[in-house]
Chains A and B, each alone.
Chain A
Amino acid sequence: MKEILWHGRGGQGVVLAAQILAEAAYIQGYGGVMSAPTFGPERRGAPVVASTRISREAIRTVAQIEKGDVAVVLDASLLGIVDILGRLKEGGALIVNTPLPPEALGIDGSYDVATVNATDIAVSNRLILGGLPVVNTPMLGAFSRVTGLVTLENIEKGLKRKMPADAARTNFAVVQSACEQTVIQPKEEKTHGTEEPEER
């Protein structure tokens, strides 16, 4: 089973991104998918976490994810505020929306570190909502590129399940751009295989 934690701020669509990934994974044929917000009050701008689980078989656990396989960070400023690495498995993948290259983030510990400027992609595609650039859907593109767990094609189908056709179309454009522009710095010793290790 793969466990993904989405970090962002209230109003950035963290919960929606986690849901779209679950939709896409189910379409791709995973038997078990699950997504959940962090329960409790949400405030615009305050740090928020959501989760997605993807597995071959139906998923029975509903407990909160302790350490995820992947951490997707929609707002780089959270790295200094929220203990993101504390909830990321050793050797897991960290994907951050930032103009900086992976090395510049100064992440120590053996993680795959990937970055993409989702904000820029959204702005240049004029994808702005309530004064905020839409940074959640581009990160789905980065996720696909870094983990290979779900294809862009299935993410597009997932988008269509969660939003009207024209919105799905414009959002898929930024998913593709983010996928292309993502820069990955794999952890030193092991090359990153796309094959999923057999079930624990």
Chain B
Amino acid sequence: MQNNIFKINETEYILPGSRACQGCGLTLAYRYMLKALRENTVLTIPASCLCVLHGLYPITPVTVPCLNTTFASTAASASGIAAGLAAMNKSDITVVAMAGDGSTYDMGIQALSGAAERNTDFIYVCYDNEGYMNTGTQRSSATPMGALTSTTPILTKEHTKKDFVRIMEAHELPYLATTSPSYPIDLYDKFVKAKRIKGTRYMHIYSPCPPGWLFNTKDTIRIGQLAVETGIVVLFEIEDGKFRFTGRSKTLAERGKRQPVVNYVSRQGRFRRMSIEQLNRLQAWVDSRWADYLDRAES
């Protein structure tokens, strides 16, 4: 881990003084994503935390070009950029659409599925902070069962988290990967790889959110690590259909021992109303999914 730190591109593409909250998982992930993708990148984003991070007119902290669009249209906007660049015969630019789970899982799923089905040449990045955080932590389909949100304030979220990564797998993309800002070098390496691949690539960032998940801002890294240590988040990549564990999940799969999900859940205020039954269902779901991934890794 130590020596890898010096291979990372030192340029900072987000100038200090952004509007993001203290200890924001997205900001940390975005920092490494841009380091990996470098200057020749064009972004398009919807109204979201990322849009707020990109700043208010006339100033932006981000030194990479970016086009804001409406909530349901992020992937379509990327399609247009890809088509426009092709029409202007500019080929050496990486087109990136980046949105949160709300825009990706819920309102924008149609545009993303369309763009993926057309194998549009772009990277779609979903930073999954498990709720509509920019507008005050309302529930989205990515919110885990048992979590308190401003729209499930008493009974907690009733339904399980939509397994969106599996939906994207069904599109049989050239490359798909899951990442976490708690493992920045794993994230960095995957974006470096994704940049070189042609066609639609889907990158999932599991992005801890202090004000939304109700944990202290100093614990952002710890929470993200616990998610991987318990198997709630599994770090892997799928290249032309071939599944491979990566980073901490790889060592866990080979010889490590997963922690119980309660270690992760108990450190976040959003789960303080989670029932035992919900906790057990979550543990069972994590265990069965981990078993599936182990099988896929062997074959």
Contacts and interface: CB of A to CB of B under 8 A. Distances in A.
Determine direct contact between A and B, CB below 8 Å.
yes
Interface in B30-64: 52
A45 B22 contact: yes
Contacts of A41: 19, 52
A43 B55 CA distance: 13
Contacts of B19: 41, 43
Interface in A20-47: 41, 43-45
B85 interface: no
Overall SS of chain B's interface: loop
Interface string A42-65: 011100000000000000000000
Contacts of B22: 44-45
Interface range for B: under 10
Contacts of B167: none
Contacts of A131: 216
B291 interface: no
Contacts of B211: 44
Overall SS of chain A's interface: loop
A43 B24 CA distance: 12
A109 B22 CA distance: 37
A131 B210 CA distance: 14
Interface in B2-39: 19, 21-22
Contacts of B216: 131
A21 B298 CA distance: 66
Contacts of B52: 41
Contacts of B21: 43-44
Contacts of A45: 22
Interface in B233-269: none
B211 to A, nearest CB: 7
Contacts of A44: 21-22, 211
Interface in B211-228: 211, 216
B17 to A, nearest CB: 11
Interface in B92-107: none
Interface of B: 19, 21-22, 52, 211, 216
9 contacts: A41-B19, A41-B52, A43-B19, A43-B21, A44-B21, A44-B22, A44-B211, A45-B22, A131-B216
Interface of A: 41, 43-45, 131
Top 4 nearest A-B pairs by Cβ distance? A43-B21, A41-B52, A44-B22, A44-B21
Given A43-B19, A44-B22, 5 more contacts: A41-B19, A41-B52, A44-B21, A44-B211, A131-B216
